[in-house]
């Protein structure tokens, strides 16, 4: 394992995450509240050319996810660029990536910003035990969505949930 990967692994493990393996192109970490996919790229050009392809690895795992004990909507995609900080002009390209919220929250960090890992950290110290958080989130969603929509979502076998949601929303608004 090269030194950057080793350093990233240490940072995540020190933050309470477990290294749960690799994707075809990066590292994968998990704690009770989130899953992080970390990809290392040599420069901004590589980032711009490859981020969508790398994110497809995240999307595939998100769509295949089956662990009911996990808050699966907390998926993060972190791109670590191995060059020095970007120029102001380069930041526009980065914003486009970070503002894409499909399937995961995306972060672009530069080598000097490794101290910002892991982004979006949710820890037991901040929110309590996973079971209590799941119960609280579940109650809040039921409150917001209404009992019928909430039950339909929660009983879904996690297959085509987006299509099912659209169908249910269409039925509700008819």
- List of domains in the chain: 3-122 (3.40.91.50), 129-172 (no CATH)
Which pLDDT band, with edges at 50, 70 and 90, does 73 fall under? Answer: low
pLDDT at position 66, please? 61
Tens digits of residue pLDDT in 27-51? 999 887 788 999 999 999 999 999 9
Question: Which secondary structure element, helix H or strand E, spans residue 45, and what is its range?
Answer: helix 44-64
pLDDT at position 77, please? 94
pLDDT at position 88, please? 82
Q: Report, as an integer, the average pLDDT of 120-146.
A: 67
Nearest CA among 120, 104, 54 for reference residue 81: 54
pLDDT at position 11, please? 94
Q: Among 50-59, 134-143, 159-168, which stretch is predicted with the lowest mean pLDDT? A: 159-168
What torsion, rounded to 10 degrees, do the Cα atoms 30, 36, 64, 170 define? 120
Q: Is-contact 168 150, C-beta < 8 A?
A: no
pLDDT at position 74, please? 80
Between these two residues, 174 and 165, which has the higher pLDDT value?
A: 165
pLDDT at position 23, please? 84
pLDDT at position 68, please? 55
Cis peptide leading into residue 59 (ω within 30°): no
pLDDT at position 167, please? 64
């Amino acid at each position: 394992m090269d030194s950057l990967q080793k350093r990233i692994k240490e940072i995540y493990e020190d933050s309470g995450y477990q290294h749960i393996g690799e994707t075809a192109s990066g590292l994968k970490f998990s704690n009770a509240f989130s899953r992080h996919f970390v990809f290392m790229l040599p420069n901004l050009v590589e980032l711009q050319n490859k981020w969508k392809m790398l994110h497809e690895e995240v999307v595939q795992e998100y769509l295949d996810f089956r662990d009911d004990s996990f808050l699966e909507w907390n998926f993060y995609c972190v791109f670590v660029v191995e060059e020095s900080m970007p120029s102001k002009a380069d930041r526009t390209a980065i914003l486009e990536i970070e503002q894409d919220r499909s399937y995961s929250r995306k972060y672009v960090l530069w080598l000097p910003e490794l101290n910002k890992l892991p982004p979006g950290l949710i820890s037991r110290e901040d929110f309590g035990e996973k079971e209590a958080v799941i119960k609280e989130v579940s109650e809040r969603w039921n409150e917001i969505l209404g009992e019928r929509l909430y039950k339909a979502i929660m009983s879904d076998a996690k297959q085509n949930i987006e299509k099912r949601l659209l169908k249910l929303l269409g039925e509700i608004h008819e």
